[in-house]
Structures are given as structure tokens and as C-alpha cells.
Amino acid sequence: MCSECQELMEKHQKSLVEFERQYPKYCHACDGRGYFEYSYDPSPAGVSLSPGRMYDTEPCIECTERGVCPLCTRPLTRDSDNRTCGCPENIYAPSPPDFECPQLIEQNRIYWQEVERGIKQR
């Protein structure tokens, strides 16, 4: 991995450590979101009427489904629609950076080339 991508990873790790210090008990199943987002194709099976997918969310069975806050695990009030107990709702564990290091790709390409050669020689 090149130094640029290394830096990206280190930045991510730092923000994750920071997040875990603030919310040491956050729900790891949903990264503290309290829900899962999924996409689906709304057109009937076999027919693709409209291109594109629909997005929907499902409560996390590990926290909000159990009535606890996804960030601090305090019980949620039943009559509230909020996902959290009062913790900020738009905060969740940072996800790793989505990068494609050209150096790493090149390394992998060479690696697989060598594996292929190795198989051919046998």
C-alpha cells in the first residue's frame, strides 16, 4: 500500500478510536445506527418494469428492537419514535475508507500471475 492510502487508513482508525471512546458500548451489529438499510427491486419477479432499486430500513435486532439505545445501550422510552435515548441520531461508527490503491492492485495482479504460472508449471 502506498503512503497516501496508508494515511487514509490511519485517519480512519483514529476516528474509530475517537468514536469508541465517546460511545464505548455502541452496538456493533449496526455500527450504532440502530437500523439496517437495504435495497430491493420493487418490480415483480421476472418483470423489470422500472429500473432502479428501492431503499428501506429495518430496525436492528440487537439494539432498537430490544428497546435500547444503539449508542449507549440506555433503555429507550416506549412512546418515542427516536432511535436513540437522546444521543445524536446521525452519529455512527465510521466505516473504513473505500479506496483502491493502484499499488495494491498491481501487487495483487503480479501475485495472481505468479500463482497462475506456478499452476501451469506443475
Residues interacting with Zn ion, by CB under 5 A?
2, 5, 27, 29-30, 60, 62-63, 69-72, 74, 84-85, 87, 101, 103
Q: Which is nearer to Zn ion, 6 or 48 (CB)?
A: 6
Is the Cβ–Cβ distance between 34 and 76 less than 8 Å?
no
Min dist. Cβ of residue 86 to Zn ion (A): 6
Q: Which is nearer to Zn ion, 87 or 93 (CB)?
A: 87
Q: Report which DSSP code applies to 79.
A: T
CB atoms within 10 A of CB 23: 20
Min dist. Cβ of residue 47 to Zn ion (A): 35
Question: Buried b / exposed e across 48-71, counting CB within 10 Å, b at 16+?
Answer: eeeeeeeeeeebbeebbeeebbbb
Min dist. Cβ of residue 7 to Zn ion (A): 9
Q: Which is nearer to Zn ion, 71 or 93 (CB)?
A: 71
